[in-house]
Structure 1
Amino acid sequence: MTEKFLGSIEAGGTKFVCGIGNDQLEIIERVSFPTTTPEETVALVIGFFKKYNIKAIGIGSFGPIDIHKDSVTYGHITTTPKLAWQDYDFVGAMKKEFDVPIAFTTDVNAAAYGEYVAGNGAGLSSCVYYTIGTGVGAGAIQDGRFVEGFSHPEMGHMIVKRHEADQFSGSCPFHNDCLEGMAAGPAIEKRAGKKGQELAEDDPFWDIEAYYVAQAAYNTTLMLAPEVIIFGGGVMKQRHMLPKVHREFEKLVNGYVTTPPLEKYIVTPKLEDDPGTIGCLALAKKEL
């Protein structure tokens, strides 16, 4: 009997990462394609999956997206600033090629689910996962279910207090100085004139960055009180960042609530670069 596999699609604004895995959520093959137009990128995705006998697919997509199955636009990417992808029927395009169950959620929800089932959220009832990179987004899980209502959360656009030493106006086209506008990779580059990974560890900017990340953790703690908050994305690969975030978080909380020990409460992904792929595989498996 030909083995059947799970498929994973991490659809990002810059690239699509596609993976093949088994029921043990082991990644067998993974490739990436540039995010250009739906016609070009999705054709490459379909071609990759056609090589395998696929039994279910999990999609974690950039958004906003329509997540409600009873909606006429379920499975669509909706009001994205990427004009070519506006109102694109992502799930419909995949269903035309693959008559299998398809899970559809945000890219950050998928990463949150990966950490929930196999990473730093495993064995816990709740977790929140942030990615801080080209953009900022977050997914929250309670008792195995995504926290969402009329749509998915957009925690990356929460309003933050400006650091007293920060004169940057913000880079978000919608809100200027929201969390994404102040702390995402493009905001760092616009301030410094170079990418975050090119800044020295002792650059004073990192204290400003930690202040904004700590505010995300502070707001999340007081609103959702999850058992763990996980910060992923390229910015948080700066290993010196986490201790700075812990210090700023303690100052912000100021003894008001007692959290788990910070080294276990505010962490980086246990799955490192794999939360999204493993999350999509796990969501695909859940559909069976």
Structure 2
Amino acid sequence: MLGAIEAGGTKFVCAISENGIDIIDQETFPTTTPDETIAQVIDYFKAHPADKIGLASFGPIDVNRKSNQYGYITKTPKAGWQFFDILGTLQKHFPDTKFAFTTDVNAAAYGELKAGAGKGLDDLVYWTVGTGVGAGIVQNGQLLQGYSHPEAGHIILRRHPDDTFAGNCPFHGDCLEGMTSGPALQKHWGKPAKDLPADHPAWDLEAYYLAQACVDLTLTVAPEKIVFGGGVMHQQQLFPKIRDQFNRLLNDYVTVPPLDSYIVPIDLADNAGAIGAFLLAQSA
């Protein structure tokens, strides 16, 4: 039996599957303190045993196996979770279980590549734009990571000349996450993103910054497809705006696939992270 843990900053999702695609059982609970939240994870997998578990966590996390903090959540802004040994804690309770450990956005990227919008491809970038912003990058069928995992949600942007918003990132101010995340939109415009009408000027600025992110990763890792998910991306009017801005910013410098099939919405919706975690667990 395969298990999946999507450890998000807002909620945790635990699930099991036999084949890595079909979810047999799933439970969701809010992310509170590490003690409370991990106790619920432990209770879930005691009731639903799994031979292998994919643990996909919010970050930053330490994925360097040579590090003495491998398996830790590190400098997260999530109160109470800084430098918490999430992998080690679970391994102590399930010593016979094999774990795959990566970021939540990496798992979703892998799920989309293998079973979603990128099925049949070898390379993909998956952006999530919600409470935070992050990117999972798959190249030649493998998650991209070196000393650490990508933190592309904090790339530095060219500011729009009409935008005076200082940004919302506690580390960098006006980085990509600081300008485009759900909390950034609420701070900038005074209401949640879901309450902003489709013709609100917020969406032109959002598209401008997200298109820059797409250009940056197109020019650095040249993916076969760019997939967007996350709560903010429920605003479907963003996609033509992003494609238009991308086309203008790239300025025909390199050849890319047709933009309607190159910059696309997530296909697996809320299950992308769990499916990706299952599939990563299979190779644990």
Same fold (TM over 0.5): yes
Number of the residue aligned with 1:277? 274
**TM-superposed deviation, 1:76:** 1.1
**TM-superposed deviation, 1:24:** 4.3
Number of the residue aligned with 1:166? 163
The list of structure 1 runs, each at least 4 consecutive aligned residues, that deviate by more than 4 angstroms after superposition, is none
2:242 pairs with one of 238, 241, 245: 245
Aligned partner of 1:129: which letter?
Y
Counterpart CA distance in 2 for 1:23 and 1:154 is 30
Q: Secondary structure at the match of 2:125?
A: strand
Number of the residue aligned with 2:142? 145
**TM-superposed deviation, 1:264:** 1.0
| 1:96-245 alignment runs, 5 A limit | 96-98=92-94, 99-245=96-242
Answering whether residue 33 of structure 2 is matched by residue 37 of structure 1, we say yes
**TM-superposed deviation, 1:12:** 0.9
**TM-superposed deviation, 1:110:** 0.6
Answering whether residue 117 of structure 2 is matched by residue 88 of structure 1, we say no
Identity across matched positions, percent:
55
**TM-superposed deviation, 1:81:** 2.2
Aligned partner of 2:255: which letter?
T
Answering whether residue 11 of structure 2 is matched by residue 15 of structure 1, we say yes
Number of the residue aligned with 1:51? 47
- The aligned length equals 283
Superposition CA RMSD, Å: 1.1
Q: Secondary structure at the match of 2:208?
A: helix
TM-score (norm. length: structure 2): 0.97
Question: Which is further off, 70-79 or 122-131?
Answer: 70-79
Q: Secondary structure at the match of 1:31?
A: strand
Residues 1:24 and 1:62: Cα distance change in structure 2 (over 3 Å): closer
TM-score (norm. length: structure 1): 0.96
Question: Which is further off, 275-284 or 79-88?
Answer: 79-88
Counterpart CA distance in 1 for 2:123 and 2:217 is 12
Answering whether residue 6 of structure 2 is matched by residue 6 of structure 1, we say no
**TM-superposed deviation, 1:273:** 1.6
Number of the residue aligned with 2:259? 262
Counterpart CA distance in 2 for 1:283 and 1:195 is 34
Residue segments in structure 2 that go unaligned for 5+ positions in a row: none
1:107-160 CA-partner distances (Å, limit 9, x unpaired): 110110110110111111110111000110011011121111111111000011
Preserved CA contact (<8 Å) 2:4 2:15:
yes
**TM-superposed deviation, 1:53:** 2.7
